[in-house]
Structure 1
Amino acid sequence: MSTVFEYAVLRIVPRPERGEVMNVGVLVHCRAVDFLECRLHVDEERLRALDPALDLAGVRAALHAVARLCHGGDEAGQAGGESPGSRFRWLTAPRSTVVQPGPVHPGITDDPAAEVERLLDLLVR
């Protein structure tokens, strides 16, 4: 049965003054089935080409924090106990850091988990 889902691309903005971004992951939320998932793919060589001085360890740590919050639970801190929809809204809120979410887009799917992989292939890899 088809259902509505929302997604956002996660991107790295190594030097905001240059306006360059690199997509590194996707977040997918489907309220109808209480689904929230993220997948990440970081091409560190491409990131170094954008900014050789970029703190890659800091980027990895920030993306790990995104994944922890996405999956919820005790490791995600206080927000980890929130509903998947609340966590998705928190993760997609605009911010001015090196790791930023893109705009939220809607779609229709029969399989939210398959959408995560499809979008990662289409928009990131």
Structure 2
Amino acid sequence: MFEYALVRVMPRIERGELINAGVLVYCRAKSFVGARVHLDETRLRCLDPDVDVAGVRAALRGYEGICAGGERAGQAAEDDPGRRFRWLTAPRSTIVQPGPIHTGLTEDPEAEVDRLLDLLVR
């Protein structure tokens, strides 16, 4: 069993329009947490031509870094994968934010990250 959430970009919070830009996957049984991102800059600029694309990309890299652990995760590197996933999926009122958590079944959570990215983001 695994849990996943989309990473969404909502450049103008007041309008509520968003695009999916990544996916987070957590599998407790395999002690795995992973993230993959893909930002469609053209779609994003359709929602807001003046969006800070560099800032959005930096925030998305942050999701990947925290999931990867090591130096890229900063203080979160010491947390277990479940705790990192819960922190990343906590509700936020920022431009880059997580969606609701869903569940599924898989034998290979790492492959599931790529499958969900292709299915729900690209």
**What's the RMSD between the two structures over aligned residues?**
0.8
Contact 1:9 1:103 in 2 (8 A): yes
Provide the TM-score with structure 1 as the length reference.
0.94
Matches within 5 A, 1:93-104: 93-104=90-101
CA distance in 2, matches of 1:75, 1:100: 19
Residue 113 of structure 1 and its aligned partner are, at CA, apart by 1.4
Q: 2:86 is matched with which residue?
A: 89
SS at match of 2:14: helix
* Other structure's SS at 1:102 match: strand
Name the amino acid aligned to 2:83: S
Q: State the Cα distance separating 1:75 from its structure 2 match.
A: 2.6
Match for 1:17 among 2, 14, 17? Answer: 14
User: Could you tell me which amino acid in structure 1 is paired with residue 54 of structure 2?
Assistant: A
Shift of 1:120: 0.7
Q: Is 2:4 the counterpart of 1:7? A: yes
In the alignment, structure 1 segments of 5+ residues that lack a partner are: none
**Stretches (4+) displaced over 2 A:** none
Q: Does 1:57 align with 2:54?
A: yes
Q: Which residue of 1 aligns with 2:66?
A: 69
Aligned residue identity for 2:12: R
The match for 2:111 among 111, 114, 120 is 114
Question: How big is each residue's C-alpha offset from its partner over 1:36-67, in whole Å with a ceiling of 9 and x where there is no partner?
Answer: 11111111011111100100111011111111
5+ residue gaps, structure 2, are none
Identity %: 65
1:72 Cα shift?
1.1
For residue 101 of structure 1, report the CA deviation from its aligned partner: 0.2
Query: What is the total number of aligned residue pairs between the two structures?
Result: 122
SS in 1 for 2:2: strand
